[in-house]
Amino acid sequence: MTPASDRPFWDQRFSGSDYVYGTAPNDFLADVAARIPAGPVLCLAEGEGRNAVFLAARGHAVTAVDQSTAGLAKAAALAARRGVSLTTTVADLADYAVAPGTWSGIVAIFMHLPPALRATVLARAAAGLRPGGVFVLECYTPAQLARTTGGPRDPALLAGLAELRAALPGLDFEIARELDRDVTEGAYHTGLASVVQLLARRPA
């Protein structure tokens, strides 16, 4: 277990009253949210709920999954403050079965997992989409190790475009790119960063 995939690490990080990644949604998700069809959305590794609450406010029935009880308690509190409802599920993604063929959207923002679990969760996500449903991902790439603007320091938790594409069988990629962009999203995402962005759709 590395710190960034360790539950006590995340419960500690989320233990304060501040939302450490902010309460605004991830920039990439906000840009592409209109491309998620109406219907239920699953947010994986959702932390304190900024993305889930944003999607719930857009009218989706959202389930947020994370290993951190502290994070999801803050997600529920943010949802209540915004007047939206959210289903929260505390689970290690290793043990979380994504219902197949069910979701209009599955969202993974800065979900950094060890390689074997990453492959398992991405395969479950691909299978979890209903026809026309989309998978949305942004995460740091290995190039981010040269920067000090956020993300795990363990190279095993970082993946690039080629690996991620290969791990999502049967989907059509509408966006699939690596880029450097300013990620200023809370206290731990603090500037120019090397990221990968995916929007991939299950054929209708």
Ligand X SMILES: C[S@@+](CC[C@H](N)C(=O)[O-])C[C@H]1O[C@@H](n2cnc3c(N)ncnc32)[C@H](O)[C@@H]1O
Give yes or no for residue 71 binding ligand X (CB under 6 A): yes
Binding mask 6-45 for ligand X (x = CB under 6 A): ----x----------x----x------------------x
Q: CA 153 to CA 158: how far, in whole Å?
A: 9
Nearer to ligand X, 8 or 100 (CB): 8
Which among 32-40, 91-99, 173-181, 193-201 is the span making contact with ligand X, rule CB under 6 A?
91-99
Residue 52 Cβ, how far from ligand X at the closest point, in Å? 9
Nearer to ligand X, 9 or 173 (CB): 9
Q: Which residue has the tokens 């090397």?
A: 194
Q: Where are the alpha helices (DSSP H) in 33-180?
A: 50-57, 69-82, 115-128, 161-166
CB-based contacts of 132, cutoff 8 Å, min separation 6: 37, 104, 201, 202, 203, 204
Which two three-digit tokens encode residue 157?
């938790």
> Three-state SS for 102?
coil
Give yes or no for residue 92 binding ligand X (CB under 6 A): yes
CB-based contacts of 118, cutoff 8 Å, min separation 6: 159, 167
Residue 55 Cβ, how far from ligand X at the closest point, in Å? 12
Q: Which residue has the tokens 């962005």?
A: 197
Residue 57 Cβ, how far from ligand X at the closest point, in Å? 16
Give yes or no for residue 50 binding ligand X (CB under 6 A): yes
CA atoms within 13 A on the CB side of 39: 15
Which two three-digit tokens encode residue 9?
């690490």
Give yes or no for residue 141 binding ligand X (CB under 6 A): no
Q: CA 63 to CA 84: how far, in whole Å?
A: 12
Give yes or no for residue 63 binding ligand X (CB under 6 A): no
Which among 30-38, 53-61, 87-95, 191-199 is the span making contact with ligand X, rule CB under 6 A?
87-95
Contacts with ligand X by CB under 6 A lie at 5, 10, 21, 26, 45-47, 50-51, 66-68, 71, 92-94, 109-111, 113
